[in-house]
Each structure stands twice: as structure tokens, then as C-alpha cells.
Structure 1
Amino acid sequence: MAEKVTATASDPSGALLYLHGGAFVAGSARSHRQITTMLALETNLPVYALEYRLAPEHPFPAALDDCLAAYQALLETVGDARRIFLVGDSAGGNLLLSALCQLRNDGMTLPGAAVAISPSTDLSCSSDSYETRKDQDFFLSRAGLEKDFATYLGSASPMDPAASPLYQDLHGLPPLLLQVGSDEILLDDSRRFADKLRASGGEVELEIWPDMIHVWHFFPHWLPEARSAVQAIAKFISRHSAA
């Protein structure tokens, strides 16, 4: 099930699929409605916020399966994959990247572009920024994420490429924008993924926003950078929209 968010001038010929964060155990279309509303207004596309299944009741790969099914349904509705765009934050960013790799592996037509906000790309929590940014990041902690990731993974390994997209073969993915805050422990998850994707010949833009926290997009009333980041997403999507 997905919640549809539209602006007055929404273009029905395209669509944006939004995958919310929440460490795979929390979050909903409602909790992220402020972000999806801003995206609908800035992109002029209908936004579909997916209510994927959550752990512990539904461990890996249930959420990923839901994302793949949602993309397939949207593709049947829109018709042109080049007019579909994927955006996800945190755990949703993980699912987005994992879904892109699985779609490629399955020979599916890929979306026009994708945006991952503060994604967790390595569920083994081995990025250096877990230590180097732990004093700046008041929102996330290694211990908290390790617990939530273990709940999500169940019997799966955190090094499983299907769960940790950093360990995937990254060739053949659509254009990707990564946005991450300089003060979050997941900073190097984005850096490492961008480096590997670039080395694989992929088209990737990495934006490291100075002094920003995890998914600062939540706070447009307090942080002007929140709306600026969403506007940057809209510009990226516009550049990759099929004529």
C-alpha cells in the first residue's frame, strides 16, 4: 500500500516512489509526509510513499520484496520507466539501492534516476564515520543501529549483498544522487558507495552538506538547508527526466 501525495500541477505522465526511513523497524508514509509533500511541490510529480513491511514481524527480505513489487506496479501504471524516480532516506535509501541492484540483476527496466538521502549502505556498521562522527551525531548511535539492523536481518548476514548494497556489483545502475550530512555517523556509508559506484563506471553525484545531521530534510521550519536539499533533489530529477 502507498500513500499518494500530489501538488496542483502534478504531471501524471511520471511518478516518484518514496521509501521512508526508520531503521527498518519504524516509520511510515505519515511520519514522512512533510518530506513527500515538499517533493511533490518541488518536482510537480505525484509521490507514492510506500508502506513497506517492518521488522521484527517482517524481517529481511520482506521490505525489499515490497519495494520491488511497488516499482513493478508503478511501471505498469506509468508505462515509461524513464519517467519513474526513486527517492529514499536512511533505511529507505538502503532499500532503494538494494532494489536498483535487484532490478538490474533481474533484467528489469530501471528508473530514470534515483536519490538516496543519508542511506545505510553497509549494515555491518564498519564505516570509519561511526567513530569519527560519533560526538557530532546526536541522532544516531552505532549501538542503536546495530540492534535495529540485527532485528531486520534476522538470520541473514550484514555482509549479504542483497541487504548491504555496498557489497553489490554496482555496474549498470541509473544516475544517482547521494545526499548526506557532514555530522552523521553514516557519512562514510555514502562516501564508500559513491567511490565504488564511480569506479564501476556509474553516474553519481555525492553532496555532503556541511554541519547537517541525519536526514535534515525533516526540519524545514528550523533549517533552511532542508528545503534547499529538496530543491536540489528536484533539480537532479528534472535534469534526468525523459522529454
Structure 2
Amino acid sequence: MFAVPPHEHVRYEPAVVGGVAGWWCWPEGAETTAVLLYLHGGGYVLGTAAAYRHFVGHVAAASGMPAFVADYALAPERSFPAALDDATAAYRALARGGHAITVVGDPAGGALCLALGSAVRAAAETGDLRPSLGLAAFSPWTDLALTGDGLTTRARRDPLLTRDVLAAAAADYLHGHDARDWRASPLYGEFDGRVPVLIHVGADEVLFDDSLRVAERIAAAGSTVDLHVWQRMTHVFLTNTRLRAAAAALQVCGAFLRHIRQ
């Protein structure tokens, strides 16, 4: 992720939001009334905001909004539900600052994005928080119980992930907790019918079914869900910004984010 080239029109700045360290990505001329909260990937055990900031700069530039990349808690040192607790703390701080927020994330961060959307929905019902403008998830890992067919049917096509790798990461994060708890596996959660959702997934990744099944659940809740399946693409292909498919997907993402901000 450190090798992703920085966007030439984005400024990067370390910061702390709600007690959570991270990096701001500031596109030139960006509005500040609406912001992105970005939750990075890494299976809950890897990844840093510093490593992800250049990629997130491309997302921020496409949207015209600043993005905060959160360094949420990682396992095994801090296990479930520490990652969601940190994501919620950052969201609350941004909301207290008067920002309208869209949450974005990839694999584990994509699951956190969807779980945070459900947590905010519950808080909004009591007047404690206002809902997010929308959610955008790239190759989200929505089922830590690992029940998706793609783990078998796409195993030979995915050069990045295997069932064993995912099982080890899930064990480190869950630390014996139920894998079907919606806070870890948003596939089993409830969704806010008012909040639009964008999902990008590659057709050749083992987590393919995690995206399809959660998209079905979101649509059943009455939300607008914009699912994009990219043929012959693998896990989080968007982070390879030199790919034509990545550039196209970022354009789609930018259009979605700008539309829901209006």
C-alpha cells in the first residue's frame, strides 16, 4: 500500500480524531461540511493509515471531500470489538464537529464500514447520532464464519486470499467470540433502509459471495444498493490505481459520493 502513488492534488496530514490516530487526506478545493471516514483493510490484524493514505487520497480526490483514515485497533493485541469501538469513536467526533459523514472501507474495513452503519442506525433511533450520508465498501469481508461458496469455487482464481489465511485472521480478531455477531460479520446484521450503499467486488475473489449476499440483505431492508461486479478482477483491485478497471471504479465511487452529498 505504501507503493500506491500519491495523488498530486491531495495534501496529507497526521491527526487524532476522537482519540483515534490517523491521517487526513485533503484534496485541493475540497468542502469541509461533508467528509469521508475511511477504514482500511488488513483482516483486522494488518494495515496502517499511513500505508493507506495515498490510495485514500485518490478516493478523496474523486469525491471532492476530505477523508480521515483511522488507525483503528488491530488484533491480536486488541481483539473484538475494539476495531468497531475505535471506528465509532472517530465517527462520533466527526459528527460532533458538524460534519456529514460517509463511511468507506475495504475488506475488513469494508465490513467495519457496514457494521458501523448498523451501529449508527441504532444510535440514530434514540437521537444519539445522525445517520451517515452513505456507505461504500470495496471487497468487504462480511462473514467471518466463512460460509461463502466463493471460498471454494474461486480458490484457484484468487492469488491473494485463502480460507486458511482468513480463518487465522478471524481467530485472532474474534478471540473466541461468535463469528456471526453482526458487529464482526455485518452479513447477519440489520440495515438502515434510508442509507445508500455502494459495493465494488472482483468476480475472481474468494470473498465474492460476501458482497453478493450482503447486497441482497441491504436491498431487502429497503436501501438503495449499487453493486458493481468487475470481471476478471481480484481482491481490492481498486488499490492498484494503474489498472484501467481501478480508475473506472474510482470514477464510479466518486460519482456515488458526490451524488449522496448533494
TM-score range, shorter chain: over 0.9
Unaligned runs of 5+ in 1: none
Q: 1:80 to 1:3 in 2, by over 3 A?
A: closer
1:175-227 alpha-carbon deviations (Å, 9 max, x no partner): 00010000000000000001111122121111001111111112122x11112
Q: State the aligned residue count.
A: 238
1:185 and 2:206 equivalent?
yes
Question: Which residue in 2 is equivalent to 1:152?
Answer: 173
Q: How many Å apart are 1:138 and its aligned residue?
A: 0.6
Letter in 2 for 1:202: S
Question: Which residue in 1 is equivalent to 2:56?
Answer: 36
1:105 and 2:122 equivalent?
yes
Question: Which residue in 2 is equivalent to 1:86?
Answer: 103
Map 1:145-224 to 2 at 5 A: 145-172=166-193, 174-221=195-242, 223-224=243-244
Q: Give the counterpart of 2:67 among 35, 47, 56.
A: 47
Q: Give the counterpart of 1:75 among 95, 106, 112.
A: 95
Q: How many Å apart are 1:35 and its aligned residue?
A: 1.6
Question: Which residue in 1 is equivalent to 2:150?
Answer: 129
The question of whether the paired residues in 1 share the 8 Å contact of 2:32 and 2:99 is answered with no
Length-normalised TM-score, structure 1? 0.95
Identity %: 38
The question of whether the paired residues in 1 share the 8 Å contact of 2:194 and 2:222 is answered with no
Question: Which residue in 2 is equivalent to 1:20?
Answer: 40
The question of whether the paired residues in 2 share the 8 Å contact of 1:4 and 1:48 is answered with yes
The question of whether the paired residues in 2 share the 8 Å contact of 1:104 and 1:172 is answered with no
The question of whether the paired residues in 2 share the 8 Å contact of 1:15 and 1:45 is answered with yes
The question of whether the paired residues in 2 share the 8 Å contact of 1:115 and 1:177 is answered with yes
Aligned alpha-carbon RMSD (Å): 1.1
Determine helix, strand or coil for the equivalent of 1:109: coil
Question: Matches of 1:135 and 1:209 in 2, distance apart?
Answer: 17
Q: How many Å apart are 1:171 and its aligned residue?
A: 4.1
Runs of 4+ in 1 over 4 A off after TM superposition: none
Unaligned runs of 5+ in 2: 1-20
Q: How many Å apart are 1:11 and its aligned residue?
A: 1.1
1:151-191 alpha-carbon deviations (Å, 9 max, x no partner): 00012111112211111122435100010000000000000
The question of whether the paired residues in 1 share the 8 Å contact of 2:121 and 2:191 is answered with no
